[in-house]
Structure 1
Amino acid sequence: MTRKVVKRRSATEQDKLISDALRDVGRPVSAYELIDELRDKASLAPQTVYRALDRLIADGRVHRLESINAFVACRHASHEGTAVFAICSDCGTVTEFDEPAAVERLSGWARKAKFAIERMTLELRGRCRECTARAPS
């Protein structure tokens, strides 16, 4: 019985593979959807994907959308603080933007309350312009 030789990828190669896949998909996806997307290119275990996503999040190249438990590629070169996401409940489109004033107000509240922020994710849920325009009046 012969065993198939599997080439191990470095963490950098895995990160690039996953980051590129997120950009190509262009919509929020779960780790398991990423595995399916990459099935033709690589055989990845869930823990490998989650470790890569953790690294990419730490590097600011990927964001986790808490409310839908999904991941998206960062669309900004840099952020003035925390990214904000508008998520369409109808079509699933995600728009990423900065809103420094809102982030500063929340951070100010936390300072006054002596609340130590570990992570901040701001998500707006609703309908995008296109879905709102298509909706019956």
Structure 2
Amino acid sequence: MTPKPTLTRNQTLVLQTLTAAVEPLSAYAILDRLRGEGFRAPLQVYRALDKLLETGLVHRLDSLKAFVACSHPHQHGGEEMVAFAICESCGGVWEFSDSKIEDRFSAWAEAEGFLTRTTTLEISGLCATCRQRADAAAAAEAGA
């Protein structure tokens, strides 16, 4: 287990904002939420995010161009594969790691001579709750 990094005030505020958010946030959404704390420029947010990404406390979701707080920063480092399931309806994000998937990616990279720096997998779809709502709506529509 790596020691918890010492964070600056801005890094702490950005991390707290992401941790409290129920959805992924863009850098500009973070900036809007932190204006009352003295944040004035996007660069303040981006600098904090860079450090938080480096330490593994935050992840960037490329498909959404947004950020989420790591749900279990103590369990993986930057070299481990991280996967995200993203609900297209409610915007919920679930973070997970799967050693079997990671092993398959590693085997492919080794066979191809590909040097992997990071591996992030993003899966888009519907969460169980939104899927049930969609199924109920479809059933109601079919019955009408």
The reply to whether TM is greater than 0.5 is yes
Equivalent in the alignment of 1:69: 65
Equivalent pairs, count: 127
TM-score (norm 1): 0.87
Q: Deviations over 1:33-57 (max 9, x none)?
A: 0001111122241122112111101
- For the residues of structure 1 that align with 2:52 and 2:42, how far apart are their CA atoms? 15
2:54 aligns with one of 41, 54, 58: 58
SS of equivalent residue, structure 2 residue 25: coil
SS of equivalent residue, structure 1 residue 38: helix
SS of equivalent residue, structure 2 residue 36: coil
SS of equivalent residue, structure 1 residue 22: helix
Listed as ranges, the gaps of 5+ residues in structure 1 are: 1-10
Deviation (angstroms), 1:99:
0.9
Please tell me whether residue 48 in structure 1 is matched to residue 44 in structure 2: yes
The answer as to whether partners of 1:64 and 1:72 remain within 8 angstroms in 2 is yes
Listed as ranges, the gaps of 5+ residues in structure 2 are: 1-6, 140-144
Aligned letter for 1:85? F
- For the residues of structure 2 that align with 1:37 and 1:102, how far apart are their CA atoms? 36
Aligned letter for 2:104? R
Please identify runs of 4+ aligned residues in structure 1 that moved more than 6 A: none
Please tell me whether residue 21 in structure 1 is matched to residue 7 in structure 2: no
Q: Deviations over 1:13-52 (max 9, x none)?
A: 1110100010111310100000011111222411221121
Equivalent in the alignment of 1:132: 131
CA RMSD between the two structures: 1.4
Equivalent in the alignment of 2:3: none
- For the residues of structure 2 that align with 1:61 and 1:111, how far apart are their CA atoms? 28
Deviation (angstroms), 1:61:
0.2
TM-score (norm 2): 0.83
Aligned letter for 1:79? H
Equivalent in the alignment of 1:91: 90
2:27 aligns with one of 24, 27, 31: 31
- For the residues of structure 2 that align with 1:133 and 1:50, how far apart are their CA atoms? 38
